[in-house]
Chains A and B, each alone.
Chain A
Amino acid sequence: MTIILNSKGFKLPRLEREKFINLMHLGLDYNRNTMMFSINSYNNIEKVIDELSIILGDDIVFHQSCVRCGKAFPCKGCNYIDVCTTKNLPFSCVCSQCLRDRKQFEEYLTKL
């Protein structure tokens, strides 16, 4: 099974001190009020995913956010997944609907 996370905020089970510190070193942030983790630095994102996979005991993928419509969507089903060097990583992208829809594109351009 694959676990889909949202990079803006996700919850993790209670962690050992060392694991928590390691995640902070790798670039995660923890909000005590909401008890949610978020990604602060993307420099070691591959290591973060490996670490989270170990903690959660499953494969981890992140939702992508569309720069045009703002919708969150998974990489699964993307036509370019085989050639993408950042697949499943939490970076901005354009969803397939926005990419193909010319009308939506022109609306987006007028907003700029």
Chain B
Amino acid sequence: MQKQTELLWVEKYRPKKIEEVTGNDEAKVLFIEWLKNKRHTKKAVLLYGPAGVGKTTLVMAAAKEFNFTVIEMNASDTRSEKAINAVAKPATAYKSLDSFSDGTNKSIGNILFLDEVDGIAGNEDRGGVNAILKIVEKSLVPVIMAANDPDIGKLRPLKKVSLLVRFQQVRIPLIIALLQKICLLEHVKAEFEALERIAQNSRGDVRSAINDLQSLSGENHSLTLQDTMMLHSRNKDISIDETLRRYFSTQSIADTSSMLAFSSVDYDDFLLSVADNLPKRYTDTAELARAYEYASQADMFRGRIGTENWHLLKYFFNALAKASAVNPQSYKPFTFITPPIRIITLFWTKNKRNILNNICAKIGEQCHVSVETAKLTFIPYVRLMLQRRRNHPIVSSFKLTPEEVNYIVTMGRY
């Protein structure tokens, strides 16, 4: 088992009671009132607000305090109607078996928690939102959803059936107060100004503030304003070019790892950029192969991190740092490829993809299939038919424009 001292402070001080959740007291009251009320006027609740303000933490703390069993689905990962139904239907249609136990387990029932619902596919895709709507209508247990951006169109139907609870950025004095508490419990002698700087730098994100406190206070259990100077980098929003330059020119894994920890670049874009630039960095094929091996490990950790397992971030940084330090002595400055080739390609092919999506939407409407099915199974045959005869009756049947016909006939791959 992991020792207490090795634990990330974010995990160690994760609130176990509702009152321990920092900030957003008004939202907490509204949510708890809804959860305690057995005759809900709204069957579901949608918690929304920026990342790191305590939405998921509040749900987990409340479930623990009221003895609910949480059936959690990260909606960003599970998008299809089938997948949602497979997990959510049994969880909401029956009472928890725990409630019939001999009393050793005190669970009073299930809660269905759908995190990051703004990542769910809309009607046009696979009916994810509709699946949730049906579950909310028939659910015998409380359904809780969380989202960062509630204003996207596809969430409109969910908003209608849900009680909306807005979360705000946590205020700086509240973050400072929390950091003071952690410092006291961890025996860290911290200057007030240092805590002030960490809190301001976090921009209302409690998680990142605690991570910064842990990484800066180090093993000597002291923190001065001087120690927090590195935090400038996150505020300055260093460009991806500058981050790449530093990444490839650092001499040790530890330096690279620490530099990445204080960078504010998008991790996915950065990983793509690293992959694009590795052949320029390593001319030796054996070194390049090792670097790609580490980059693929970093990619694997990024996938596991998803949107909530941020405690794995250090492994992501570590693997990525190893890719830059396969042979530190061989570094020679070179011109970077940015933005990542994949993003440039997506940008240049946006119009083409739009045309194809429009064609597939028309086919889908006529043949009662999804856009994706039309793309995979119909387009190859339509293409063959139109290559033989451009004015084939299928053109009028699908209401294709001459531009669309031309696109299908000349398209290289689909």
The answer on a CB contact under 8 Å between A86 and B172 is: no
Given contacts A43-B164, A43-B165, contact A93 B30 (CB under 8 A): no
The answer on a CB contact under 8 Å between A42 and B180 is: no
The answer on a CB contact under 8 Å between B166 and A42 is: yes
Does A94 interact with chain B (Cβ within 8 Å)? Answer: yes
Which residue of B166, B176, B177, B184 is within 8 Å of A43 (Cβ)?
Answer: B166
Q: Which residues of A contact B174 (CB under 8 A)?
A: 67, 92-94
Complex: chain B residue closest to A102, CB-CB: B180
Bound-state CA distance A100–B191 (Å) is: 11
The answer on a CB contact under 8 Å between A94 and B173 is: yes
Contact mask B170-191 → A, CB, 8 Å, 1/0?
0111101100110010000000
Given contacts A93-B173, A94-B176, contact A42 B26 (CB under 8 A): yes
8 Å CB contacts to B: which residues of A27-85?
39, 41-43, 67-68, 78-80, 83-85
The answer on a CB contact under 8 Å between A105 and B180 is: yes
Q: Which residues of B contact A106 (CB under 8 A)?
A: 184
The answer on a CB contact under 8 Å between B181 and A91 is: no
The answer on a CB contact under 8 Å between B176 and A109 is: no
Given contacts A43-B165, A43-B166, A99-B177, contact A80 B26 (CB under 8 A): no
The answer on a CB contact under 8 Å between A93 and B164 is: no
> Total number of A-B contacts with CB less than 8 angstroms?
62
Complex: chain A residue closest to B24, CB-CB: A91
The answer on a CB contact under 8 Å between B25 and A91 is: yes
Bound-state CA distance A78–B26 (Å) is: 21
The answer on a CB contact under 8 Å between B177 and A41 is: no
Contact mask A5-42 → B, CB, 8 Å, 1/0?
00000000000000000000000000000000001011
The answer on a CB contact under 8 Å between A85 and B204 is: yes
The answer on a CB contact under 8 Å between B173 and A85 is: no
Least distance between B238 CB and chain A CB atoms (Å): 20
The answer on a CB contact under 8 Å between A85 and B25 is: no
Which residue of A43, A84, A90, A98 is within 8 Å of B171 (Cβ)?
Answer: A84
Q: Which residues of A contact B180 (CB under 8 A)?
A: 105
Bound-state CA distance A99–B24 (Å) is: 18
Complex: chain B residue closest to A65, CB-CB: B25
The answer on a CB contact under 8 Å between B26 and A99 is: no
Given contacts A41-B30, A92-B23, A94-B174, contact A83 B181 (CB under 8 A): no
Does B168 interact with chain A (Cβ within 8 Å)? Answer: yes
Does B27 interact with chain A (Cβ within 8 Å)? Answer: yes
Q: Which residues of B contact A91 (CB under 8 A)?
A: 23-26, 168, 171
Bound-state CA distance A41–B29 (Å) is: 10
Q: Which residues of B contact A43 (CB under 8 A)?
A: 164-166
8 Å CB contacts to A: which residues of B134-182?
164-166, 168-169, 171-174, 176-177, 180-181
Bound-state CA distance A84–B168 (Å) is: 11
Contact mask B13-32 → A, CB, 8 Å, 1/0?
00000000001111100100
Bound-state CA distance A108–B166 (Å) is: 28
Contact mask B27-49 → A, CB, 8 Å, 1/0?
10010000000000000000000
Least distance between A22 CB and chain B CB atoms (Å): 18
The answer on a CB contact under 8 Å between A100 and B192 is: yes
Which residue of B171, B192, B196, B204 is within 8 Å of A93 (Cβ)?
Answer: B171
Does B200 interact with chain A (Cβ within 8 Å)? Answer: yes
Bound-state CA distance A94–B195 (Å) is: 14
Q: Which residues of B contact A68 (CB under 8 A)?
A: 177
Complex: chain B residue closest to A45, CB-CB: B166
Bound-state CA distance A89–B30 (Å) is: 17
Complex: chain B residue closest to A68, CB-CB: B177
Contact mask B281-310 → A, CB, 8 Å, 1/0?
000000000000000000000000000000
The answer on a CB contact under 8 Å between A85 and B168 is: yes
The answer on a CB contact under 8 Å between A86 and B184 is: no
Bound-state CA distance A90–B29 (Å) is: 14
Q: Which residues of B contact A80 (CB under 8 A)?
A: 171-173, 200
The answer on a CB contact under 8 Å between A84 and B172 is: yes
- Show the binding face of A for B, using Cβ within 8 Å: 39, 41-43, 67-68, 78-80, 83-86, 89-96, 98-100, 105-106, 109
Which 6 A-B residue pairings sit nearest by Cβ, starting from the closest?
Answer: A94-B173, A80-B172, A43-B166, A92-B25, A42-B26, A85-B169
- Show the binding face of B for A, using Cβ within 8 Å: 23-27, 30, 164-166, 168-169, 171-174, 176-177, 180-181, 184, 192, 196, 200, 204
Q: List 23 A-B contacts (CB under 8 A).
A: A41-B30, A42-B30, A42-B168, A43-B164, A67-B25, A67-B174, A67-B177, A78-B173, A79-B196, A80-B171, A80-B172, A84-B171, A91-B23, A91-B24, A91-B25, A91-B26, A92-B174, A94-B177, A98-B177, A99-B173, A99-B177, A109-B181, A109-B184
| Given A68-B177, A99-B173; 12 other pairs, CB 8 A cutoff | A42-B30, A42-B166, A42-B168, A43-B164, A67-B25, A67-B177, A83-B172, A85-B204, A86-B169, A91-B24, A94-B176, A95-B173
